[in-house]
Amino acid sequence: SGEKKTWMRQPIIVVLGHVDHGKTTLLDKIRGTAVARKEPGEITQHVGASVVPASVLKKLAEPLRKYFPKLVIEIPGLLFIDTPGHELFSNLRKRGGSVADMAILVVDIIEGFQPQTVEAINILKEKKVPFVVAANKIDRIEGWKPHADTPFLESIRDQSPRTLSLLEEKIYGLVGKLYEHGFEAERFDRVRDFRRTVAIVPISAKTGEGIPELLALIAGLSQQFMKKRLVTSEEPAKGVVLEVKEEPGLGTTIDVIIYDGVLRRNDVFVVAGRNGPIVTRVRSLLMPRPLQDMRMHEGRFINVDLVTAATGVKVAAPGLEDALAGSPFYVVPSDDKVEEYKRITQEEVSQIRFRAESDGVVLKADTLGTLEALIEAMRRENIPVKLADVGHVTRNDVIEASVVKKSKPEYGVILSFNVKVLPEAEELIAKEGIPVFKHNVIYQLLEEYFKWYREFKE
Ligand code: GDP
Ligand code: MG
């Protein structure tokens, strides 16, 4: 008796890659595939995420059986985070890693590696997230004959030898680049040991070629190598705050990815806030209303009593105005544990929001996730950080930077990601001549500062 129910949850998958390499198109294609092939009543839409159910994975894997006879789908599906790119990925943060179980690194096969491809690889390495490479836009290889929604291994049987050799050349270009970054890589159907070799799946997000293999491979790898990580049970939920959003009629809500346990209406939970941990109680749990119900009912969301991992859910609760995206989300198991959970949350967050004694740069960002990404980028370049915090650039930030500027002018700067510079700060910035770097793309913000830094050093 007292045995807790356990189950294997969906792996949480993110899509990363350089701008215009096809991340959004790929996610749209995957969602379209899930909707078109699901069984009646299966739900594919979550808040901030989409699910490819097991039934769809099984249908996609069927034609692959002759190539991969051992493939059996055991997971309940794949949970894809809907918004691709670094910025939201950085909010999937978890102490020492990421809530994402696996990533798809999208690379335009014609363009090859670009700055954000490299940045994504560095982040995945640092967060220890395993990944596969989707070599996208194969339909743009000279002479390619498209075959809509067909496995790659079928489609190549109908391509000319010249087109196939152009494809091989491109793939070996990617293998070489991955090697430079410390990864052995190979086309997926030639990989012998998936623990040592990164698989490259040639796809077209436009025609759908290779999508069956891409999804089957992710399913296969996750159930083979991360079974333990995917087992969850009827425990109090653990998650991460992906976004903080105002909703008409609901006030401030948080979109949460739950990666462990069960979340119920009325559960007491802790999240990090601008001014310390917030303890509050779930007023409602909201899931997207299925499209076919939209005509009959008001509102984009439906109320549910509970959700189980893995899921994306909108949580409405009082007092979330100051909640921080990128914060851990913990259901408090019992009343006497409230202080303990506040402390755990506070400790976790104070490693990201800090003030150090040494001379270093000032970092200001909109979320805990992006702030952490900036700190990690500075560490990679051996640049010290004096102050890291979430929020607009204030007069006090400028004072901190101007103190640093006197002894270490190369660090007497402010990097501001997706936040405002307050008018009170502007005045002092002009007076003290503090360089302020602003951008809402992480790598461009870093590039601008590093460029200035190199020029300064010369
Ligand atoms: P993102 O910036 O990575 O999200 O890239 P998008 O998904 O917005 O794609 C950028 C452009 O590439 C768009 O014009 C897409 O239609 C196009 N695109 C994406 N995937 C493919 C593909 O497989 N083949 C071709 N020919 N075009 C593609
Ligand atoms: Mg996009």
DSSP states of 167-187: HHHHHHHHHHHHHHTT-EEEE
Q: Whose CA is nearest to atom 1 of ligand 1?
A: 20
The whole-number pLDDT of residue 51 equals 97
Share of the chain above pLDDT 70, in %: 98
Flag whether pLDDT at 266 surpasses 90: yes
Residue 69 binned pLDDT confidence (cut-offs 50, 70, 90): confident
DSSP bridge pairs for 199:
186
Q: Which ligand places an atom closest to the C-alpha of 27?
A: 1
393-415: average pLDDT: 97
Least confident of 117-121, 137-141, 173-177, 290-294: 290-294
**Pick from 311, 421, 322: nearest CA to 77:** 311
Distance 24 CA to ligand 2 centre (A): 4
Distance 26 CA to ligand 2 centre (A): 9
The whole-number pLDDT of residue 66 equals 87
Q: Report how far residue 13's alpha carbon sits from residue 227's, in angstroms, rounded to the nearest whole number.
A: 15
Q: Return all residues near 270 (Cβ < 8 A) that are at least 6 apart.
A: 277, 278, 279, 329, 330, 332, 338, 341, 342, 344, 345
Q: Report how far residue 45's alpha carbon sits from residue 331's, in angstroms, rounded to the nearest whole number.
A: 24
Q: Which ligand places an atom closest to the C-alpha of 25?
A: 1
Flag whether pLDDT at 259 surpasses 70: yes
The whole-number pLDDT of residue 295 equals 63
Share of the chain above pLDDT 90, in %: 91
The whole-number pLDDT of residue 1 equals 47
Residue by residue, DSSP assigns 14-48 as: EEEESTTSSHHHHHHHHHHHHHHHSPTT---B-SS
Q: Both tokens of residue 423?
A: 């008018």
What pLDDT digit, counting tens, does each position of 346-356 carry?
A: 999 999 999 99
**Pick from 237, 244, 238, 442: nearest CA to 324:** 244
Flag whether pLDDT at 294 surpasses 80: no
Residue by residue, DSSP assigns 39-107 as: PTT---B-SSEEEEEHHHHHHHHGGGTTT-TT----SSEEEEESS-SHHHHHTTEETTEES-SEEEEEE
Q: Both tokens of residue 48?
A: 């901030």
Least confident of 33-42, 105-114, 148-157, 182-191: 33-42
Phi, psi of 427 (to 5 degrees): -55, -50
183-193: average pLDDT: 97
Find the helix or strand (DSSP H, E) in which 219 lies.
Answer: helix 211-225
Ligand 1 atom with the smallest distance to the CA of 21 is 3
Distance 85 CA to ligand 2 centre (A): 8
Least confident of 65-69, 138-142, 189-193: 65-69
Residue 292 binned pLDDT confidence (cut-offs 50, 70, 90): low
SS3 259: strand
The whole-number pLDDT of residue 443 equals 86
Note the ipTM here: 0.99
Q: Report how far residue 99's alpha carbon sits from residue 233's, in angstroms, rounded to the nearest whole number.
A: 17
Ligand 1 atom with the smallest distance to the CA of 25 is 7
SS3 204: coil
Assessment of whether the complete model's pTM goes beyond 0.80: yes
Residue 67 binned pLDDT confidence (cut-offs 50, 70, 90): confident
How many Cβ atoms are within 10 Å of 74's Cβ, its own excluded?
Answer: 14
- How many CA atoms lie within 13 Å of 136's alpha carbon, on the beta-carbon side? 27
Q: Which ligand places an atom closest to the C-alpha of 87?
A: 2
Distance 339 CA to ligand 2 centre (A): 41
Flag whether pLDDT at 154 surpasses 50: yes
Query: 15 with 26: CB under 8 angstroms?
Result: yes
- How many CA atoms lie within 13 Å of 244's alpha carbon, on the beta-carbon side? 21
Ligand 1 atom with the smallest distance to the CA of 204 is 23
What pLDDT digit, counting tens, does each position of 117-136 carry?
A: 999 999 999 999 999 999 99
Q: Report how far residue 217's alpha carbon sits from residue 225's, in angstroms, rounded to the nearest whole number.
A: 12
How many Cβ atoms are within 10 Å of 137's Cβ, its own excluded?
Answer: 24
User: Which of 23, 25, 214 maximizes ligand 1 atoms within 8 Å of its Cβ, making it the mutation to test the pocket?
Assistant: 25
Distance 126 CA to ligand 1 centre (A): 27
Residue 151 binned pLDDT confidence (cut-offs 50, 70, 90): very high
Q: Spell out which residues line ligand 1, taking CB within 6 angstroms.
A: 17, 19-25, 84, 136-137, 139-140, 204-206
Of 293 and 188, more confident: 188
The whole-number pLDDT of residue 300 equals 87
Ligand 1 atom with the smallest distance to the CA of 136 is 23
Flag whether pLDDT at 441 surpasses 80: yes
Residue 3 binned pLDDT confidence (cut-offs 50, 70, 90): confident
180-205: average pLDDT: 97
Flag whether pLDDT at 175 surpasses 60: yes
Q: Both tokens of residue 109?
A: 């096969």
The whole-number pLDDT of residue 296 equals 62
Distance 19 CA to ligand 2 centre (A): 7
Ligand 1 atom with the smallest distance to the CA of 28 is 7
Q: Report how far residue 438's alpha carbon sits from residue 379's, in angstroms, rounded to the nearest whole number.
A: 19
The whole-number pLDDT of residue 347 equals 95
The whole-number pLDDT of residue 2 equals 62
The whole-number pLDDT of residue 293 equals 61
